[in-house]
Amino acid sequence: MEAAIEVQPVIKVAALCGSLRKASFNRGLIRSAIKISKEAINGMEIEYVDIAPLPMLNTDLEVDGTYPPAVEAFRRKILEADSILFASPEYNYSVTAPLKNAIDWASRPPNVWADKPAAIISTGGGFGGGLSQYHLRQIGVYIDLHFINKPEFFLNAFQPPAKFDAEGNLIDEDAKKRIKEVILSLQAFTRRLQGKSQ
């Protein structure tokens, strides 16, 4: 008699981009990650969660323990996700204002980030968004996010050859391979934290 094969539930990943620009290279990284997960990774579903509709954090908007509709919808997406994928551009050595705003809204009581695994990818000039990643990791300590340590993904968007097309889509094959490695590491780490084997 053959042993039954355990079918593991699909890992649901909420993907957030710190840039609101439609042709943003960092949003292009998210689109690439979604495509890779659909075509080359079993048991993982990445959904882009738009942070643009969120109002600026103002606790006056909290009424009797409830939040504005856009905030409630965002918090629900984070709560229902098994893990988080951030695409974090670097503004002034840190994370962007829209991303910090989203993080702060979801950390309001009850903190819906708590105990979730996460990964970061970024692109930009110089260090490719690296300083924003390290600042995001610091924020993650307080809100109880568990980031994968390796592999790290930084991409200099402006160093030849071209990494993105005119619409902000990732066209660099090596970068796509590296994103896949990040996603696989996040998948394995999520399973580990859930107490399940690969």
Q: What is the mean pLDDT of each run of 10 residues along the chain (198 residues)?
A: 68 98 96 97 97 98 94 98 97 96 97 98 93 97 97 96 96 98 98 76
Q: Is the dihedral of CA 154, 85, 150, 170 positive or negative?
A: negative
Helix axes 97-107, 69-80, angle to 10 degrees: 80
Tokens 């951030």 belong to which residue? Answer: 86
Cα pseudo-dihedral 109, 115, 116, 120, rounded to 10: 100
Domain boundaries, the chain: 11-193
pTM, entire model: 0.94
pLDDT tens by residue, 48-100: 999 999 999 999 999 998 999 999 999 999 999 999 999 999 999 999 999 99
**For residue 108, with 0-12 CB atoms within 10 Å meaning exposed, 13-18 middle and 19 or more buried, which class applies?**
middle
CATH 3.40.50.360: does it fit domain 11-193? yes
- Dihedral-angle region of residue 157 (phi above 0 means left; psi in -120 to 50 means alpha; beta otherwise): alpha
